[in-house]
């Protein structure tokens, strides 16, 4: 079902579907021809019949998209990877999925991978971010992806839009939630993913008249701030802006509304294991201003459960579970990990904490693996980061816990700010003393000009946690308090 024919089912062959900064606009017929040509190349590869997964890591966004679509045309399973990662990381991710070939810009790189059995109906394999825990490969069913695309189109006005793409085609958010959904709706994709700076992305999106933008808060915030530095007529004519990957907080909503006052805002929640979209809410709904990430999409069921697995009543915090046709089939080659998150009745354990109100609106509140004990008190790392984000001058924040000989663990927070450290940090300490209990305050705050991000836009938690552990060990060796 998940083929280019299905995606372009309602699109005129002469209609434009791809608009790019460096190259001619592609029509639906042009895209079909390029995909067919690439499919012939893949079909000619020496590809063991026992292996159904082919890994792709192209630096150009259009080349990556064409490769994914061509593999689908071949009846195989594409695994898009980060082309900017070291080749050994790409090969390791391909090996976990049993891909015998890694297709790069220069061509095919054979791999000594052991084939992984792939369940019937699987159409797409996606790597988890690896931002926490062990990276895995999510296997998504074609029917589930199609159901998720139709669910997105039920609330987001993609048809008739000109869709801005600023994220690379590695994550399910960019590939399924944006590219596949736009193609299904017959909406042209304006590919700005290969433009490095927000200012150059804005220049291109303005020139092509992009009207719909979907991205993560960090990217949206940078684009909005860049847009505010120019006159209104030099900004893209956005009418709809959708956010996912994290809650659309005040520090992001405010510049977006100032930069694009005529645009409707949407908050969304999803995860790779759900193909990817789960909930959505528009800014005309009171739940949006209350901080909700939305209500369940058509066909999706949500349940909040307590530590014993019993459903929680409205307003009570617990762990979010999701059920629906778009829930993943499995983690490829990892039955133990699959069994840990997929339960009876097809319920997916997300490890995200939150609550549902009486109207079914979902409010997130960190992750179950973000809860730690500091001096005997249970502390939410996400709550500390959220408090930091409310402080004046803080653009991004991330908190982690590192070993401490006195209290077992101590909190280290990283904050990104344009303000100099000597101005920000004393004010931030005073703010935290007035707003947070002692156990929830970070023992150390590290000032950064920017936090590291993964290719899909999420904060690179592992990089910051490694830095916190290294710097803490160094301070202890030097005897610095």
Burial class, 23, CB count within 10 angstroms (exposed 0-12 / middle 13-18 / buried 19+): exposed
Indicate whether 234 belongs to any domain. Answer: yes
Last residue of a domain, one of 362, 385, 415: 362
Q: By mean pLDDT, which of 70-74, 75-79, 408-412 is the weakest?
A: 408-412
Residue 274 binned pLDDT confidence (cut-offs 50, 70, 90): very high
Please tell me the total count of domains within the chain: 2
Q: What confidence score (pLDDT) does residue 456 get?
A: 61
Last residue of a domain, one of 338, 362, 386: 362
Residues spanned by the domain of 354: 4-362
What would the mean pLDDT of 76-91 be, rounded to a whole number?
91
**CATH at residue 45:** 3.40.50.12780
Cα 214–chain centre separation: 11
Indicate whether 54 belongs to any domain. Answer: yes
Indicate the pTM of the whole model. Answer: 0.83
The reply to whether 282 and 393 lie within a common domain is no
The reply to whether 21 and 154 lie within a common domain is yes
| Beta carbons within 10 angstroms of residue 438's beta carbon | 10
Give the burial string for 185-209 (b: 16+ CB within 10 Å, else e).
bbbbbbbbbbbeebeebbbbbbebe
The reply to whether 148 and 84 lie within a common domain is yes
The reply to whether 163 and 52 lie within a common domain is yes
Last residue of a domain, one of 299, 332, 362: 362
The reply to whether 229 and 307 lie within a common domain is yes
The reply to whether 37 and 125 lie within a common domain is yes
Over residues 461-473, the pLDDT tens digits come to 888 988 988 876 5
d(C-alpha 64, C-alpha 74), whole Å: 16
Of residues 63 and 333, more confidently modeled: 63
The reply to whether 349 and 429 lie within a common domain is no
Residue 132 binned pLDDT confidence (cut-offs 50, 70, 90): very low
Tell me the residue ranges of DSSP E strands in 38-157.
53-57, 77-80, 101-104, 107-110, 122-127, 137-141
Averaging pLDDT over each range in 80-84, 246-250, 345-349, which range is the top one? Answer: 345-349
Residue 128 binned pLDDT confidence (cut-offs 50, 70, 90): confident
The reply to whether 265 and 397 lie within a common domain is no
Percent of the chain with pLDDT over 90: 69
**CATH at residue 442:** 3.30.300.30
């Amino acid at each position: 079902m998940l083929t280019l024919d299905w995606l372009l089912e309602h699109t005129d062959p002469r209609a434009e579907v791809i608009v790019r900064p460096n190259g001619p606009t592609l029509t639906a017929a042009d895209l079909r021809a390029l995909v067919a040509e690439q499919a012939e190349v893949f079909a000619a590869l020496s590809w063991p019949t026992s292996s159904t997964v082919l890994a792709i890591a192209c630096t150009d966004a259009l080349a990556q998209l064409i490769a994914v679509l061509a593999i689908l045309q071949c009846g195989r399973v594409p695994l898009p990877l980060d082309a900017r990662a070291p080749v050994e990381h790409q090969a390791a991710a391909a090996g976990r999925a049993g891909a015998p070939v890694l297709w790069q810009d220069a061509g095919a790189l054979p791999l000594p991978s052991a084939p992984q059995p792939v369940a019937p109906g699987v159409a797409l394999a996606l790597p988890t971010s690896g931002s926490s825990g062990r990276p895995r490969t999510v296997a998504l069913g074609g029917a589930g992806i199609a159901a998720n695309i139709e669910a997105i189109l039920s609330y987001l006005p993609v048809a008739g839009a000109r869709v801005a793409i600023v994220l690379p085609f590695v994550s399910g958010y960019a590939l399924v939630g944006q590219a596949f959904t736009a193609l299904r709706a017959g909406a042209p994709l304006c590919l700005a993913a290969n433009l490095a700076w927000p200012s150059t992305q804005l220049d291109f999106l303005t020139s092509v008249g992009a009207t719909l933008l979907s991205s993560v808060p960090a990217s949206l915030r940078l684009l909005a701030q860049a847009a505010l530095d120019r006159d209104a007529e030099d900004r893209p004519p956005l009418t709809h802006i959708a956010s996912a990957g994290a809650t659309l907080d005040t520090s992001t909503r405010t510049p977006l509304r100032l930069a694009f006052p005529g645009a409707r805002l949407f908050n969304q929640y999803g995860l790779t294991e759900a193909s990817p979209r789960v909930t959505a809410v528009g800014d005309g709904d009171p739940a949006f201003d209350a901080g909700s990430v939305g209500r369940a999409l058509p066909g999706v069921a949500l349940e909040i459960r307590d530590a014993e697995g019993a459903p929680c009543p409205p307003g009570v915090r617990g762990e979010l579970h999701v059920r629906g046709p778009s829930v993943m089939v499995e983690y490829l080659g990892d039955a133990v990990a699959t069994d840990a998150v997929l339960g009876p009745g097809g319920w997916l354990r997300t490890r995200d904490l939150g609550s549902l109100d009486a109207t079914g609106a979902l409010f997130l509140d960190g992750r179950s693996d973000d809860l730690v004990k500091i001096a005997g008190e249970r502390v939410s790392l996400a709550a500390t980061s959220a408090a930091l984000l409310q402080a004046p001058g803080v653009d991004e924040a991330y908190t982690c816990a590192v070993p401490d000989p006195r209290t077992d663990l101590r909190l280290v927070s990283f904050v990104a700010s344009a303000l100099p450290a000597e101005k920000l940090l004393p004010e931030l300490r005073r703010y935290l003393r007035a707003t947070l209990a002692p156990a929830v305050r970070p023992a150390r705050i590290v000032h950064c000009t920017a936090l590291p991000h993964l290719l899909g836009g999420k904060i690179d938690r592992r990089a910051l946690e490694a830095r916190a552990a290294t710097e803490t060990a160094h301070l202890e060796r030097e005897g610095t308090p």
